[in-house]
Copies of this chain bind each other. A is one copy, B any other.
């Protein structure tokens, strides 16, 4: 696909790539012209159009400055490869609107790893899940969902307070099992209005 490019066109492409690499943003047409020793921006303009037709160059919006990027270049806008995920210090009432006050920051995570669903990162407080090898200070990747299966590790609101527990549905009640031998399970009647499932744990991040 690169074979039907002329020498000049390849030169322009290479100049764009180098400029982006060195400066962190794409060049303007006149900057490109000067870089290639040309006197007018019009020639570059024509060249960029033909490069666009051949599919090797793209621009996000017409008319905007510095908006060209090379197709297939890693430096190009990689929508989809990674996504920003907010770090929540504490789950608070009003979820899943993710109260902004509790935002610690955000991490960009690989979409291949966390998937496309609505997620956030929750910092673990305490040792209630130590038998599941989840430690104090770990970050949990939480997927917002109401549906979960027996044995899932979930985040639940229980009377305005958030907890991480393993979920089991029993006959007339729900059992929330802490993964810590020294702690007792919590039983929820089926009709408890103070109980609400926020989401389930899909992954874990730990920093040493």
Contacts and interface: CB of A to CB of B under 8 A. Distances in A.
Interface stretch (A45-53, A71-79, A180-188): A71-79
Given A28-B65, A82-B82, A22 B208 contact: no
For A24, A77, A79, the residue with the greatest tally of chain B CB atoms inside 10 Å of its CB is A24
A60 interface: yes
A43 B22 CA distance: 29
A203 interface: yes
Contacts of A74: 24, 79, 84
Contacts of A26: 24-25
Contacts of A20: 24, 78
Interface in A15-44: 18, 20-26, 28
Contact of A25 (B67, B82, B208): B67
A89 to B, nearest CB: 16
A205 interface: yes
A107 B205 CA distance: 14
Copies in the complex: 2
The A contact surface, by secondary structure, is mixed
A131 B35 CA distance: 45
A79 B133 contact: no
Interface in A76-91: 76-82, 84
B201 A24 contact: no
A67 B108 CA distance: 23
Contacts of A76: 24
A204 B208 CA distance: 8
A110 B113 contact: no
Interface in A110-149: 110, 112-113, 130, 133-135
Interface of A: 18, 20-26, 28, 60, 65-67, 69, 74-82, 84, 107-110, 112-113, 130, 133-135, 153, 201-208
